[in-house]
């Protein structure tokens, strides 16, 4: 029995092999293969005959008969999918040849229910009149009662193909995608949900206009919700709720646009193998979420976007990533409420304004803060940045009536997320301030409430204090920031493990606000504490924080008047870590900017030039918004011209830096912008425009004075040094002497680098000598010359300048 079973099985296998071989290689194969076994040959032939028999009755897949719909004759098939077939057709009722696309729904829609559904759907589609949506032109029923739609014929390529073929850079892709969102939002406002958004349903015309096609079809089919859920949609782009067969609304379309955006940006699907059923099942149950966009990019994808892999990774780990992940939230309520909200956030991103997409985690927030701090470090000055745009832009501005509900919801979520608890009284109390609520109000409110809310929960309190400290820092409220971070530190120290990286991050935060609060000694100390802890830690976030700590150490040493070598050493270490983190192409614009500024101030012009060129090239290659570090690079490049006494070049470059930064300031110049204006005023003053320069200096002085405190004092000392140089050029030596003297006094007290002070002393000496105060001038000029000569050598421009100034003396 077993024997016979085995024989049967082996004959079956032999049959199977011969069957396939005959199909693959032709029946003549059997002539030799079965030569010795005619019975086997007979069996195979019988199987092949059976195969022909059953497969012959399959509906033919080719040579379809092209149908006719009313006045339209079909010329070919444009596409055929799960929902139906789309024909290319023309109107041939003797009029001019007018080409259209005709859609026919598959299957019979014979029932009354379908017919009604179809008619109402057609009415909705007829209402959609948008330049990015293929228009419905006509529709009807065939003699057999088969409904059809006549649509505008779109001849284009699918969105993703269009972008890749043209190697469209990220920013160009975002612009194109913005039009898509506009169309989706328009449809939503007309109560039409697409439900099957995917690149192949978005065709881009030769003129570069994306057009949504296939609108409404999926909704029609949704009728059979129970069983068509997976057949009606494209699983790769379907939202989790769609995959679960639940009703799909606006949020579902937002999710699909999120998938499209993710693919346009990264070239990869957010869930790996998006076509697999396994993946669909896991997404439906919320088991997997989108991979971090920065990790999804490949060299090929980068090439198709005309950008290097490292650069692309960097771009796709910031705000843009947060935006994508928010659109891809498994929970519909956590996504953008509308396509418009997503579009708005992308616009904010492209304009370099703060986005609403919230970082997914505390660590992410820390990284984000650190990134901003790196920017601040690079600039070496205090300025409002990032979220600070909100100081001018109140949260309730513009279109209040229409957007009130949506924004209220966002603010509420924001507050709730910050606190991890819902409390409407908060929102109400802020709301009572009406249209003038600023981010600072929100933060103050949070600070004042923490104690009573979470006093009993130190862990939550520590987190909140840190968050609020960071927010104050972002708002340039450094004293408040430091106070909150200090409370967090005091509460964390007793409970933290030794070398806990989160403690290290806290020290980095502290060093940052202290540096910017002109507390250089404290900044140096805390940066060192951070380094001691974070050098032992692994993980990307910790390494990024460590890099910041080194940068802070460098700039704090600079603020403390340490030698150039002492300043540069930690910055170089930061650069090394940057290479390790971001690959060989490695140094970030921030690192390069910090090094450029330090070298520039030390008179190392060749090195500075090298760093500047590299940093600006990196910045130019980077799509999306550029940070303040880019502006700092532009500013320092202008300074290089100035040092080389090429005034025309300096004026042009300072103006370029201003032109770049101005649009981001919304009419309120940050101290950073003020600083550039001062240097431009100096340049113009040296070119003979004394009155104009003086006006600028006056304005800048008044603006700085409003900041107050030691910060303002240090800015004013810097400003006066520049202003005095213009007085010298204008021959107003007495005024120059006064300003030089005040400035030098400040810098001597505040431990600036001795070479820079020597340059300043030399200038003061000249102003004295010009007025015949030779007794005081002589030692100043001589000593400062010696200092400069010793540090810079005999040929440096500072040395030759100082030597020339001595010649003023009789």
Partner 1 sequence: MLHMVPGPANITQLLAEWRQGDAAAFEQLAPAVYDRLHAIAESYLRGERPTHTLQATALVNELFLRLVKNSSVQYDSREHFYAFAAKLMRRILVDYARKDGAQKRGERPEAVMLAPELAWVDAASPELLDLDQALTELAELDPAKVRTLEIRFFLGATSTEAAELLGQSRARVDRDVNFALSWLHQRLKGGTPARSSEQNSPDSRHS
Give the residue, chosen from 32, 206, 227, 456, that forms a contact with partner 1 under the rule CB under 8 A.
Answer: 227
User: Which residue out of 164, 196, 253, 509 is catalytically annotated?
Assistant: 196
Task: Give the burial string for 331-346 (b: 16+ CB within 10 Å, else e).
Answer: ebeebbbbbbbbbbbb
Shortest separation between residue 200's beta carbon and partner 1, angstroms: 16
Give the residue, chosen from 7, 25, 31, 50, that forms a contact with partner 1 under the rule CB under 8 A.
Answer: 50
Helices (H) and strands (E) in the chain, counts: 38, 9
Shortest separation between residue 225's beta carbon and partner 1, angstroms: 10
Give the residue, chosen from 37, 40, 45, 660, that forms a contact with partner 1 under the rule CB under 8 A.
Answer: 45
CB of 243 closer than 8 Å to CB of 256: no
Shortest separation between residue 291's beta carbon and partner 1, angstroms: 19
Q: Is 6 in the site for partner 1 (CB under 8 A)?
A: no
The structure tokens listed for 721 are 């040094």
Give the residue, chosen from 167, 231, 666, 695, that forms a contact with partner 1 under the rule CB under 8 A.
Answer: 231
> Facing residues of 80 across strands?
85
User: Sign of the CA dihedral 761, 635, 348, 322?
Assistant: negative
Tell me how far apart the alpha carbons of residues 651 and 641 are, in angstroms, rounded to a whole number: 9
The 10 Å Cβ neighbour count of residue 255 is: 26
CA neighbor of 170 nearest in space, from 33, 49, 323, 17: 323
Q: Which residue has the tokens 């309120």?
A: 668
Residues with Cβ < 8 Å from 679, sequence gap 6 or more? 635, 638, 639, 642, 650, 654, 722
Name the one range near partner 1 by CB under 8 A: 109-117, 501-509, 546-554, 777-785.
109-117
Give the residue, chosen from 62, 452, 538, 584, that forms a contact with partner 1 under the rule CB under 8 A.
Answer: 62
Give the residue, chosen from 40, 48, 387, 809, that forms a contact with partner 1 under the rule CB under 8 A.
Answer: 48
Q: Is 2 in the site for partner 1 (CB under 8 A)?
A: no
Name the one range near partner 1 by CB under 8 A: 239-247, 342-350, 572-580, 636-644.
239-247
The structure tokens listed for 55 are 């497969």
The structure tokens listed for 429 are 């109390």
Shortest separation between residue 565's beta carbon and partner 1, angstroms: 59
Active site residue 196: yes
Identity of the residue, 281 or 393, whose beta carbon is nearer to partner 1 in the bound complex: 281
Tell me how far apart the alpha carbons of residues 547 and 601 are, in angstroms, rounded to a whole number: 22
Identity of the residue, 24 or 207, whose beta carbon is nearer to partner 1 in the bound complex: 24
Give the residue, chosen from 3, 36, 57, 584, that forms a contact with partner 1 under the rule CB under 8 A.
Answer: 57
Query: Could you tell me where the DSSP H helices lie in 267-393?
Result: 277-284, 293-296, 299-304, 309-315, 319-327, 339-350, 362-379, 389-392
CA neighbor of 623 nearest in space, from 330, 302, 179: 302
Identity of the residue, 17 or 620, whose beta carbon is nearer to partner 1 in the bound complex: 17
Give the residue, chosen from 1, 2, 39, 58, that forms a contact with partner 1 under the rule CB under 8 A.
Answer: 58
Tell me how far apart the alpha carbons of residues 541 and 548 are, in angstroms, rounded to a whole number: 11
Shortest separation between residue 44's beta carbon and partner 1, angstroms: 9
Q: Is 295 in the site for partner 1 (CB under 8 A)?
A: no
Q: Is 572 in the site for partner 1 (CB under 8 A)?
A: no
Residues with Cβ < 8 Å from 44, sequence gap 6 or more? 15, 18, 19, 22, 30, 34
CA neighbor of 183 nearest in space, from 157, 215, 152: 215
Shortest separation between residue 45's beta carbon and partner 1, angstroms: 4
Name the one range near partner 1 by CB under 8 A: 15-23, 183-191, 208-216, 341-349.
15-23
Q: Is 7 in the site for partner 1 (CB under 8 A)?
A: no
Name the one range near partner 1 by CB under 8 A: 14-22, 461-469, 708-716, 799-807.
14-22
Give the residue, chosen from 7, 25, 31, 42, that forms a contact with partner 1 under the rule CB under 8 A.
Answer: 42
Q: Is 59 in the site for partner 1 (CB under 8 A)?
A: yes
Q: Is 435 in the site for partner 1 (CB under 8 A)?
A: no
User: Sign of the CA dihedral 39, 44, 45, 50?
Assistant: positive
Residues with Cβ < 8 Å from 606, sequence gap 6 or more? none
Q: Is 109 in the site for partner 1 (CB under 8 A)?
A: yes
- Which residues 245-284 are close enough to bind partner 1 by CB under 8 A? 245, 275-278, 281-282, 284
- Which residues 185-224 are close enough to bind partner 1 by CB under 8 A? 224
Identity of the residue, 43 or 766, whose beta carbon is nearer to partner 1 in the bound complex: 43
Identity of the residue, 199 or 240, whose beta carbon is nearer to partner 1 in the bound complex: 240
Q: Is 652 in the site for partner 1 (CB under 8 A)?
A: no
Identity of the residue, 45 or 783, whose beta carbon is nearer to partner 1 in the bound complex: 45
Q: Is 31 in the site for partner 1 (CB under 8 A)?
A: no
The strands making up 210-212's β-sheet, listed across from edge to edge, are 156-158, 202-205, 210-212
Shortest separation between residue 446's beta carbon and partner 1, angstroms: 37
DSSP 3-state percent helix, strand, coil across the chain (nearest 5): 65, 5, 25
Give the residue, chosen from 7, 12, 459, 668, that forms a contact with partner 1 under the rule CB under 8 A.
Answer: 12
C-alpha 58 chain-centroid distance: 52
Tell me the HSE value of 745 on the side-chain side, using a 13 A CA sphere: 9
Q: Which helix (H) or strand (E) element contains residue 73?
A: strand 72-80
Q: Is 32 in the site for partner 1 (CB under 8 A)?
A: no
What secondary structure does DSSP assign to 313-327, as a single string?
HHHTTSHHHHHHHHH
Identity of the residue, 109 or 356, whose beta carbon is nearer to partner 1 in the bound complex: 109
Q: How many residues in the shown chain lie near partner 1 by CB under 8 A?
A: 53
Q: Is 55 in the site for partner 1 (CB under 8 A)?
A: yes
Give the residue, chosen from 1, 35, 39, 61, that forms a contact with partner 1 under the rule CB under 8 A.
Answer: 61
Shortest separation between residue 26's beta carbon and partner 1, angstroms: 9
CB of 416 closer than 8 Å to CB of 442: no
Q: Is 116 in the site for partner 1 (CB under 8 A)?
A: no
Q: Which residue has the tokens 């769609």?
A: 242
Measured at the CA of 507, the angle between CA 546 and CA 470, to 5 degrees, comes to 100
State the residues that interact with partner 1 by CB under 8 A: 5, 8-9, 12, 15-16, 19-20, 23, 27, 42, 45-62, 107-109, 111, 114, 224, 226-231, 243-245, 275-278, 281-282, 284-285, 287
- Just list the catalytic residues: 196
């Amino acid at each position: 029995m077993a024997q016979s079973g085995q024989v049967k099985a082996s004959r079956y296998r032999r049959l199977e092999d011969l069957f396939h071989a005959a199909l693959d290689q032709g029946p003549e194969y059997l002539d030799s293969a079965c030569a010795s076994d005619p019975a086997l040959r007979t069996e195979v032939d019988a199987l092949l005959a059976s195969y022909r028999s059953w497969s012959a009755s399959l509906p033919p897949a080719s040579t379809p008969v092209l149908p006719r719909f009313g006045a339209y004759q079909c010329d070919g098939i444009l596409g055929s999918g799960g929902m139906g077939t789309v024909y290319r057709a023309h109107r041939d009722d003797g009029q001019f040849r007018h080409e259209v696309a005709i859609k026919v729904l598959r299957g019979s829609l014979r029932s009354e229910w379908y017919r009604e559904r179809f008619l109402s759907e057609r009415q909705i589609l007829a209402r959609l009149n948008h330049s990015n949506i293929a228009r419905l032109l006509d529709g009807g029923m065939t003699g057999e009662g088969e409904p059809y739609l006549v649509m505008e014929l779109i001849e284009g390529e699918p969105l993703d193909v269009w972008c890749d073929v043209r190697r469209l850079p990220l920013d160009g892709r975002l612009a194109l995608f913005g039009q898509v969102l506009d169309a989706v939002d328009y449809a939503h406002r007309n109560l039409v949900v697409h439900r099957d958004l995917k690149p192949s349903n978005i065709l881009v015309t030769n003129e570069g206009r994306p057009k949504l096609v296939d609108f409404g079809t999926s909704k029609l089919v949704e009728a059979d919700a129970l069983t068509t859920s997976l057949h009606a949609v494209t699983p790769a782009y379907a939202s989790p709720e769609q995959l679960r067969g639940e009703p799909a609304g606006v949020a579902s379309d937002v999710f699909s646009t999120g998938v499209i955006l993710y693919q346009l940006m990264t070239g990869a699907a957010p869930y790996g193998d998006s076509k697999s059923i396994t993946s669909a099942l896991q997404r439906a149950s919320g088991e997997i979420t989108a991979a971090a966009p920065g990790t999804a990019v490949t060299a090929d994808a980068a090439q198709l976007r005309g950008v290097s892999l490292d650069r692309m990774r960097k771009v796709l780990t910031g705000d843009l990533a947060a935006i994508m992940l928010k659109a891809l939230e498994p929970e519909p309520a956590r996504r953008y409420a509308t396509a418009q909200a997503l579009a708005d956030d992308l616009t904010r991103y492209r304009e370099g304004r703060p986005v609403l997409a919230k970082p997914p985690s505390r660590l992410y927030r820390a990284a984000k803060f650190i990134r901003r701090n790196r920017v601040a470090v690079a600039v070496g000055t205090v300025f409002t940045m990032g979220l600070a745009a909100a100081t001018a832009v109140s949260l309730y501005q513009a279109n209040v009536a229409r957007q009130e509900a949506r924004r209220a919801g966002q603010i509420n979520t924001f507050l709730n997320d910050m606190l991890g608890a819902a409390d409407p009284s908060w929102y109400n109390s802020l709301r009572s301030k009406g249209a003038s609520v600023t981010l600072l109000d929100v933060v103050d409110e949070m600070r004042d409430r923490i104690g009573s809310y979470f006093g009993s929960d130190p862990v939550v309190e520590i987190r909140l204090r840190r968050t609020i400290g960071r927010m104050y820092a972002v708002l340039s409220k450094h004293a408040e920031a430091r106070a909150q971070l200090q409370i967090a530190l005091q509460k964390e120290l007793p409970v933290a493990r030794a070398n806990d990286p989160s403690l290290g991050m806290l020290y980095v935060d502290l060093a940052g606000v202290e540096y910017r609060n002109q507390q250089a000694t404290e900044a140096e100390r805390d940066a060192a504490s951070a380094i001691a802890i974070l050098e032992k830690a692994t993980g990307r976030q910790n390494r990024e924080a460590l890099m910041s700590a080194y940068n802070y150490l460098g700039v704090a040493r600079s603020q403390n008047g340490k030698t150039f070598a002492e300043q540069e050493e930690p910055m170089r270490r930061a650069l090394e870590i940057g290479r390790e983190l971001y690959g060989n192409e490695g140094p970030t614009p921030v690192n390069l900017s910090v090094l450029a500024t330090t070298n520039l101030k030390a008179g190392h012009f060749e090195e500075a030039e090298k760093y500047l060129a590299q940093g600006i090239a990196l910045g130019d290659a980077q799509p999306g918004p550029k940070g303040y570090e880019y502006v700092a690079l532009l500013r320092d490049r202008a300074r290089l011209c100035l040092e080389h006494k090429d005034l025309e070049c300096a004026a042009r470059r300072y103006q370029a830096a201003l032109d770049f930064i101005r649009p981001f300031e919304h009419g309120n110049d940050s101290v950073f912008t003020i600083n550039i204006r001062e240097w431009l005023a100096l340049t113009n003053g040296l070119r003979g425009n004394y009155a104009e320069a003086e006006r600028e200096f006056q304005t800048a002085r008044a603006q700085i004075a409003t900041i107050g405190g030691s910060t303002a004092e240090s800015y004013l000392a810097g400003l006066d040094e520049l202003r005095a140089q213009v007085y010298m050029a204008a021959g107003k030596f007495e005024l120059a002497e006064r300003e030089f003297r005040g400035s030098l006094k400040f810098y001597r007290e505040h431990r600036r680098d001795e070479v820079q002070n020597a340059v300043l002393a030399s200038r003061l000496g000249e102003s004295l000598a010009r007025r015949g105060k030779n007794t005081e001038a002589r030692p100043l000029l001589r000593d400062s010359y010696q200092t400069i000569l010793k540090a810079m050598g005999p040929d440096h421009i500072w040395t030759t300048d100082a030597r020339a100034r001595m010649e003023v003396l009789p």
